Structure 1
Amino acid sequence: MHKVKGISVALTAAALSATSIAVATPTAVASTVNWDAIAQCESSGNWAINTGNGFYGGLQFLPATWREHGGVGSPERTPREYQIAIAERVLRTQGIGAWPVCGAYALSPRSSAPPGAGSACRVMSGMVLGVVNLNRMCAALTSQARAVAAALVG
């Protein structure tokens, strides 16, 4: 009985210790960088841009930089949120100088919504056959894409 109780106490202590570490360690820190302003400068705010110049996505990543910082696939084919998550990693290793010209916009004021946020959904107005609300469907799919991007970068 004492042996079982001792194991139980040890397991409980280990679980509490692990829980306190998990609670004390933040999983994400809100960035002070205005990534939308940088993207506006780099790519006219087009997060899906591929001009053939060797840089890709809204923040104009080089493929090597993208991969070195955990990017999967090609930047221009990933959601804005995923590109920003990779950019945060680049920022930690290279600083804002990774965007030598457009990094100057890093601290510019933000609007309440990122440029182009919801624009695809605004274009899709109305109902299909009086049953399907395209705005709601678009918003739901967009939020799911954000959740997937966050989980992939995690």
Structure 2
Amino acid sequence: MLIDLAHFTPGLSLTGGLIIGLAAAVLVLFNGRIAGISGIFGGLLSLPRNDIGWRFAFVAGLIGAPVIAGLLGKPAVADIEANWSVVLVAGFLVGLGTRYASGCTSGHGVCGLSRGSVRSLVATLIFMAAGFLTVFVQRHLIGG
């Protein structure tokens, strides 16, 4: 295995993980809510809700943080080697999967596992297996 040391950032990755864990802990401790992005965003779409303020602030932070980071320094740009139709279909499939799994990787993987949820463990293992399988098929069978 070859590691691209120019893009290997364990310190930044650890810091990001700690911040995500802290944010999830603060949300559950002070609001009693799980920091699952699909559930938070889905709550914005199912009106009327009496808890729309914190949901909007959470999503605005997800969008605003990289925008502000880009304004302050070098913007992080994802290198996606797919056309828009593939990205839209993939997004739709991810949304569909999160509905069937009753949550996404952030809800199950970060919050559910930390609470010892067996359902979240199974969901996270399936998410990871599907990701591994997708990368394997794309890189070794299709030839991407």
Superposed pair shares fold, TM > 0.5: no
Higher relative contact order (CA 8 A, sep 6+): 2
TM (norm. structure 1) is 0.29
